[in-house]
């Protein structure tokens, strides 16, 4: 191809196409390229060559994955038996792990009466219980929550490490900054993908769908082929975190892990873990069962890091990275059809996350490994990539593994959160301690986002809420700050280091970028639906303040600023009317340390 020739517009052929490069695809490509390197397998698309394996990643680099992770790494260690964390920046072995109940030092959270009683008890018996700094490290941590003998990773750094090894084999190409618009479906079969950049088709005998729960390929396949009976994706969370350079005063050793419950709201889980080099990851999960119509992640994160139990370690530190992502919390209930003719699903988008143990990366990795083993078998046996052949080799392998066994235990573990936070904790304990034999039944109707008046009943008057609403609309600001202020949450005193404005977090931590030449990837489908929306939850939850409600037309369609979007996808599942389309686009976070 010479420079004066126009680029080819004919469909290209490959053998295997992968969509999305995360831990699942990392496991898939690691295992597949090893197998291809050992065996003599010919390409079916280009005979005489090894199978042509392409992977398309939406983000601008394979290291821009969003998540830190503390994991038992059973599957990852099986792939790398001699795994040495020293080879991977920010990786460490777990050395100390605590489950910490955090009290509310401001009295501003919505704690159930029993929790308030527990708070008073802990405060009264603090010395006896060894509670300190408004937190109580529970003396007992159930085994299913433990990550003992596991690892702390930065997923960005881990992806980079894995991706480099895969590419150096020369047996797979990983294309960053190449969003995929959707699958190419022909006669009930996935025949490849359509690229978002130019609408070109790339055809392959087999497509590996690993683009996560908000990825357009997985979602289109669900729309086309449906979900298994009784399965649905209705529980989510926003995970938001920052990576912090710890101050000199912090003496926590690397490998320290805190899991937290109780603060800033009882429904919000938190984490804090220490990487090598005096760096820590700290963050929260804001779940869909927090029924607030003004739920926000950033403001809650700012309060979380300032909780006295954590602030004693963090104060004086400096944010070096920040990010957020959506997590599919439906677990096995969110599992789609794992295979079809010409395709298979792996990773978080395949429902592999264990919602009881709070573990997803290792499970995702394992799904990739299992699929790669199945693909190698299919090649060796000279079979086509039909649903039948994939089910017999991939689905069967998955069903027989610890992943499926543990996901069945976890399947009903979070039912209780649909009834209330205490029932949620009890339900988790019940399911975890009985290996899933007992659980709290799910109510006939799940929790839904309530109106502000209902959610803040007995805390704020209707007139207070209405005044705050009018002020927010006039100033074009989200409502959550005003209502949290009214509820007694203290203002955030910026220190310019950890406590910075939301926009500074985008610039200093996320380093958010948006390449030109792509249309807005967040689309509001029907203006009339937005105009009747009472909450504009899309703007409240937006992890990057990229969605704004107009000051001149508060009931109009919100404005979207793609220059700020970090592609967390929270708007997609928070819209109460499913009126948002989240399309494929490059850009977003540019920090490699999340």
Q: Which residues bind other proteins (CB under 8 A)?
A: 1-5, 7-9, 12, 54, 56, 60-64, 88-89, 157, 160-161, 163-164, 167-168, 170, 173-178, 195, 197-198, 200, 202, 320-321, 494, 496, 500-501, 504, 508, 511, 513, 515-517, 586, 590-593
- Supply the minimum distance, in Å, between the C-beta of residue 12 and other proteins: 6
- Supply the minimum distance, in Å, between the C-beta of residue 8 and other proteins: 5
Q: Which is nearer to other proteins, 129 or 492 (CB)?
A: 492
Angle between helices 402-410 and 361-381 (to 10 degrees): 140
Q: Which is nearer to other proteins, 445 or 517 (CB)?
A: 517
- Supply the minimum distance, in Å, between the C-beta of residue 174 and other proteins: 6
- Supply the minimum distance, in Å, between the C-beta of residue 552 and other proteins: 22
Contact of 161 with 21, CB cutoff 8 Å:
no
Contact of 233 with 223, CB cutoff 8 Å:
no
Q: Which is nearer to other proteins, 122 or 174 (CB)?
A: 174
- Supply the minimum distance, in Å, between the C-beta of residue 315 and other proteins: 17
- Supply the minimum distance, in Å, between the C-beta of residue 20 and other proteins: 15
| DSSP SS3 for 493 | coil
Q: Which is nearer to other proteins, 24 or 62 (CB)?
A: 62
Contact of 147 with 72, CB cutoff 8 Å:
yes
Pairing of strands 12-19, 201-209: parallel
Alpha-carbon distance of 289 to 267, in angstroms, equals 8
Residue 132 to residues 24, 55, 79, 320: CA-CA distances in angstroms? 40, 49, 41, 28
Q: Which is nearer to other proteins, 198 or 577 (CB)?
A: 198
Dihedral (CA of 473, 478, 482, 487) sign: positive
Alpha-carbon distance of 509 to 286, in angstroms, equals 20
Contact of 217 with 55, CB cutoff 8 Å:
no
DSSP state of 525: S
- Supply the minimum distance, in Å, between the C-beta of residue 193 and other proteins: 10
Q: Which is nearer to other proteins, 61 or 446 (CB)?
A: 61
| Ranges of H-type helices in 444-497 | 452-455, 462-475, 480-486
Residue 442 to residues 111, 416, 447, 493, 536: CA-CA distances in angstroms? 22, 7, 10, 41, 28
> Is 142 exposed, middle or buried, given 0-12, 13-18 or 19+ CB atoms closer than 10 A?
middle
Q: Which is nearer to other proteins, 168 or 528 (CB)?
A: 168
- Supply the minimum distance, in Å, between the C-beta of residue 167 and other proteins: 5
> What phi and psi, each to the nearest 5 degrees, are found at residue 561?
-115, 100
Q: Which is nearer to other proteins, 110 or 320 (CB)?
A: 320
């Amino acid at each position: 191809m010479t420079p004066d020739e126009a680029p080819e517009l004919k469909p290209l052929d490959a053998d295997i196409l992968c969509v999305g490069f995360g831990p699942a695809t990392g496991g898939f490509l690691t295992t597949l390229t090893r197998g291809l390197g050992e065996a003599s397998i010919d390409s079916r698309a280009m005979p005489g060559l090894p199978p042509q394996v392409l992977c398309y990643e939406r983000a601008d680099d394979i290291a821009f994955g969003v998540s830190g992770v503390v994991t038992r790494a059973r599957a990852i260690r099986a792939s790398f038996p001699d795994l040495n964390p020293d080879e991977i920046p920010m990786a460490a072995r777990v050395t100390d792990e605590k489950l910490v109940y955090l009290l509310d030092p401001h009295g501003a959270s919505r704690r159930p009466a029993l929790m308030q009683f527990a708070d008073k008890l802990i405060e009264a018996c603090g010395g006896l219980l060894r509670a300190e700094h408004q937190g109580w490290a529970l003396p007992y941590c159930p085994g299913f929550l433990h990550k003992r003998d596991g690892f702390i990773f930065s997923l960005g750094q881990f992806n980079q490490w894995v991706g480099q090894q895969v590419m150096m084999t020369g047996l797979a190409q990983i294309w960053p900054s190449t969003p995929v618009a959707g699958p190419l479906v022909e006669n009930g079969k996935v025949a490849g993908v359509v690229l978002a950049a130019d609408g070109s088709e790339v055809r392959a005998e087999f497509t590996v769908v690993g683009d996560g729960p908000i990825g357009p390929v997985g979602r289109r396949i669900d729309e086309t082929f449906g979900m298994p009976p009784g399965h649905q994706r209705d529980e989510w969370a926003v995970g938001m975190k920052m990576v912090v350079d710890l101050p000199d005063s912090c003496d926590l050793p690397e490998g320290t892990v805190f899991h937290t419950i109780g603060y800033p709201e009882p429904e919000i889980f938190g984490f804090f873990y220490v990487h090598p080099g005096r760096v820590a990851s700290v963050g929260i999960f804001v779940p869909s069962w927090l029924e607030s119509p003004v739920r926000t992640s950033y403001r809650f994160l700012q309060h979380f890091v300032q909780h006295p139990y954590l602030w004693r370690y963090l104060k004086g530190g400096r944010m070096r990275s920040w990010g957020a992502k959506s997590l599919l919390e439906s677990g096995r209930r969110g599992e789609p059809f794992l295979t079809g003719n010409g395709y298979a699903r792996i990773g978080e988008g395949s429902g592999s996350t264990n919602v009881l143990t709070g573990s997803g990366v290792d499970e995702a990795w394992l799904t990739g490994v299992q699929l790669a083993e199945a693909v190698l078998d299919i090649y060796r046996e000279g079979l086509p990539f039909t649903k039948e052949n994939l089910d017999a080799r991939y689905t069967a392998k998955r069903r027989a593994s610890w992943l499926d066994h543990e996901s069945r235990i976890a399947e009903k573990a979070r039912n209780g959160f649909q009834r209330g936070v205490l029932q949620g904790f009890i339900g988790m304990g019940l399911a975890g301690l009985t290996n899933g034999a007992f659980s709290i039944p799910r109510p006939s109707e799940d929790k839904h986002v309530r109106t502000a008046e209902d959610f803040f009943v007995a805390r704020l008057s209707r007139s207070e809420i209405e005044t705050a609403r009018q002020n927010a609309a006039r100033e074009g600001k989200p409502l959550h700050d005003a209502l949290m202020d009214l509820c007694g949450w203290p203002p955030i005193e910026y220190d310019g280091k950890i406590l910075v404005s939301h926009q500074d977090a985008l610039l200093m931590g996320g380093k958010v970028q948006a390449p030109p030449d792509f249309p807005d990837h967040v689309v509001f489908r029907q203006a009339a639906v937005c105009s009747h929306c009472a909450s504009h939850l899309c703007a409240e939850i937006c992890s990057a303040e990229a969605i704004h409600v107009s000051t001149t037309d508060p009931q109009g369609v919100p404005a979207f600023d793609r220059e700020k979007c970090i592609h967390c996808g929270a708007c997609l599942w928070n819209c109460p009317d499913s009126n948002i389309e989240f399309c494929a686009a490059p850009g977003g976070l540019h920090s490699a340390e999340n």
